[in-house]
Structure 1
Amino acid sequence: YTDILEGAGLRTRHIESHDESLLDMIDRIDARITALHVAAPEILADNGIRHDSVRDFTALARAAVQTGRIGYTLMIAEKP
């Protein structure tokens, strides 16, 4: 992404990785879906949400973050 910013005439000033925040968000989604599955499964069913499918997708997302395939990064760039 720094090359893209430089190509647009910007200089990258700061980069912060927030992959742990992304993992926390995935964990919160997983926990909330599991809580609904236990406490109020009809809410999931009424909205066409399958608990096992969501768990499969959160597992895939978690693995993608852990292997570096996806991430969450803050980049600050400025015009020189």
Structure 2
Amino acid sequence: MKYTEDIFPRSTIQRNGMKTLQAHIDENSCMTICDVVYREVENYTLHLHIILPTQDKDKTRKFPTIVFVQGSA
């Protein structure tokens, strides 16, 4: 699935101490694994999406870990 700003809009929220990092993103910069089941609660199956950076051939680049938790109920 290709995400657009209509589906996943850009956040304008800023917090004290928050830093925004600029990235050069293209089609080959990351891999997305969608709808991974991480828990089943009663009759509900909970899913998540995992977005992984594409590694260099020599695997010398390091990437920060970013965890985004959506606040919807």
Q: TM-score, normalised by structure 1?
A: 0.25
Report which of the two has the higher share of helix. 1
Report which of the two has the higher share of strand. 2
Structure with greater Cα Rg? 1
